[in-house]
Chains A and B, each alone.
Chain A
Amino acid sequence: QKEVEQDPGPLSVPEGAIVSLNCTYSNSAFQYFMWYRQYSRKGPELLMYTYSSGNKEDGRFTAQVDKSSKYISLFIRDSQPSDSATYLCAMSAGAGKSTFGDGTTLTVKP
């Protein structure tokens, strides 16, 4: 079993839709939970990160972590065509190595 499982997708939604991206994990030592966005033929870039359980909001993006269920989510409100990318969840026990999910490819159609 993988340490991090990500809903595979792909997802295709109309512009303005609410998008939910999800990951589960098995390692209780994970304390930091990240979402990276990767555009085609580019390296991943950090979108948001959360320490321990709770919610974090940044503009149209909300990250949720439920450590009791070992489940994390990223919500995108009012999705835009520019949000079309692959989204990777990642988790870490501290400074240094992270474990990545396989990614979910999102297409937002105008």
Chain B
Amino acid sequence: NAGVTQTPKFRILKIGQSMTLQCTQDMNHNYMYWYRQDPGMGLKLIYYSVGAGITDKGEVPNGYNVSRSTTEDFPLRLELAAPSQTSVYFCASSSRTGGYQPQHFGDGTRLSIL
């Protein structure tokens, strides 16, 4: 049971380059999320999705884009990498069924922009 899988695990980018962080889940969860975690800080929500074809901005969306064409996949796109985007990125998913459902996290992508 893989859960939430993120690729790549590590990446170094030059300023101005672009890349896509991949996230896939095999739990048939409707909700998916992208967070960034800076050193010593908590999780800041970048974008989230409540189902295929539906996405919405979180707390810190500038410089990022997302798409959700399938239930399983939720890629995060960085168009023009900037040093401020150096961070650890976590993807998570949760079920929509009643009450609170815990978020299941991947192990993160560590991204450095130089």
Interface residues of A (CB under 8 A from B): 4, 6, 31-32, 34, 41-46, 49, 51, 88, 92, 94-98, 100-103
Contact = CB atoms under 8 A, between A and B. Distances in A.
B89 to A, nearest CB: 10
Interface string B37-48: 000111101001
A6 B26 CA distance: 32
Interface residues of B toward A: which range? Answer: 20 to 34
Nearest to A96: B31
Contacts, number: 62
B107 A95 contact: no
Q: List the 8 shortest-distance A-B pairs measured between CB atoms, nearest first.
A: A43-B105, A32-B100, A46-B102, A102-B42, A100-B42, A100-B43, A43-B107, A44-B105
B71 interface: no
Interface of B: 4, 31, 33, 35, 40-43, 45, 48, 50, 58, 90, 92, 94, 96-103, 105-108
